[in-house]
Amino acid sequence: MLDDRKAAILRAVVQEYIETAQPVGSGRIADAEGVDVSSATVRNEMATLETDGYLVQPHTSAGRVPTEKGYRYFVDTIGAPRALRGEHARQVSAFFRRAHGEIEEMLEATSRLLSGITDWTGVVVPPPSTETPLRSIHLASLAPRQALAVLVYADGSVEKHSVEFDADTGEERVNAASAHLTAHLSGVVRSGLPDSVTPTGDTETDRITATALDVLRASVEPDAPSDVFVGGASRVASAFDAVETVQEVLHVLEQHLVVVTLLRDVVDRGLQVAIGSETGMETLASAALVVAPYTVGGERAGSIGVLGPARMDYREAMAAVTDVSNRLENHLTEG
């Protein structure tokens, strides 16, 4: 554990580095608020902090830069999450006051909101559709042997799966099957779909129903294509100085499944912030991720996050992510 003075110095270094992106020298820290010792003392303490792995020097005659461990300490001792203030708080309020319409559009806009507030990239993962209650199912025939199963969920999201039939199917039968499915599966969650539904008595209708049900059951896969909304990806360009890193991070953001997994893992580990290697991804070594889960009607959880450089403003990002996730939760629950 760090004594008070070391802690104060470390925090001051992180704070300063976040603001300036320049290695921080002992002089600057000695002047800083909350540190009332001379620069010589600060130097001694900094040397210890370096030995203990909280700081590093880019080169001998330079100031110090926080390590992952340093950022971690900073985040862990950041105290009660500050609420959003000023312009940003207003932005969030206004956003949710105006929010309406399609849920996907709204979540996409939310990712842009996060990006706008924090200056980095915003990510929004919707609750898994497999855990959202179904509202209705519509089979729309496209060709004699092909139909589209359109699932409408209670939260207003829509999903589709194409269904292939073995034999030509009449449209009336398809409609009958469609109504039958809705009648039996409304309110059910897709991961809890039954093996079969009560037969209608009409053989062909039942076959259509069964085929569609099979498709829907089969679509509950862990590696199914996942929705993610990424807002402000262009900010990545200014987040890292190495072009190579920019490209790698952008590449990560393009792989939606990876992003979803990443957020989930971090949330599952009970973290609000994952710094560098804590993300579990080598390519995010100089990045940090601030996340917050949100739940809608009990268990079905989505998450939101902000991806930026390790030297991001954690206070603000944590406040933003917390506030937005709460508002989002309310918005989707009261809906």
At its nearest, how many Å lie between DNA and the CB of residue 322? 34
Residue 97 binds which one of DNA, a copy of itself, none, with CB within 5 to 8 A depending on kind? none
At its nearest, how many Å lie between DNA and the CB of residue 105? 45
Nearer to a copy of itself, 37 or 150 (CB): 150
Nearer to a copy of itself, 253 or 271 (CB): 253
The reply on whether position 138 binds a copy of itself by CB under 8 A is yes
For the record, the structure tokens of 75 come out as 């985040």
For the record, the structure tokens of 64 come out as 């110090």
The number of residues making up the chain comes to 335
- Give the whole-angstrom CA distance, residue 308 versus residue 321: 13
Interface with DNA in residues 57-116 (CB under 7 A): 57-64
- Give the whole-angstrom CA distance, residue 327 versus residue 155: 16
Interface with a copy of itself in residues 82-101 (CB under 8 A): 101
Q: Print the binding letters for residues 155-184 with a copy of itself: x by CB under 8 A, - otherwise.
A: -x-x-xxx----------------------
The reply on whether position 188 binds a copy of itself by CB under 8 A is no
The reply on whether position 251 binds a copy of itself by CB under 8 A is yes
For the record, the structure tokens of 98 come out as 């105006």
Sign, Cα dihedral of 45, 46, 49, 51: negative
Task: Determine whether 97 is exposed, middle or buried from the number of CB atoms within 10 Å of its CB (0-12, 13-18, 19+).
Answer: exposed
Pairing of strands 134-143, 301-309: unpaired
- Give the whole-angstrom CA distance, residue 151 versus residue 161: 8
- The partner residues of 275 in beta bridges, in order of sequence, read 288
The reply on whether position 38 binds DNA by CB under 7 A is yes
The reply on whether position 133 binds a copy of itself by CB under 8 A is no
Of 143, 183, 218, 257, the residue at the interface with a copy of itself (CB under 8 A) is 143
- Positions that interact with DNA (CB under 7 A): 5, 22-28, 36-41, 43-44, 46-47, 50, 57-64
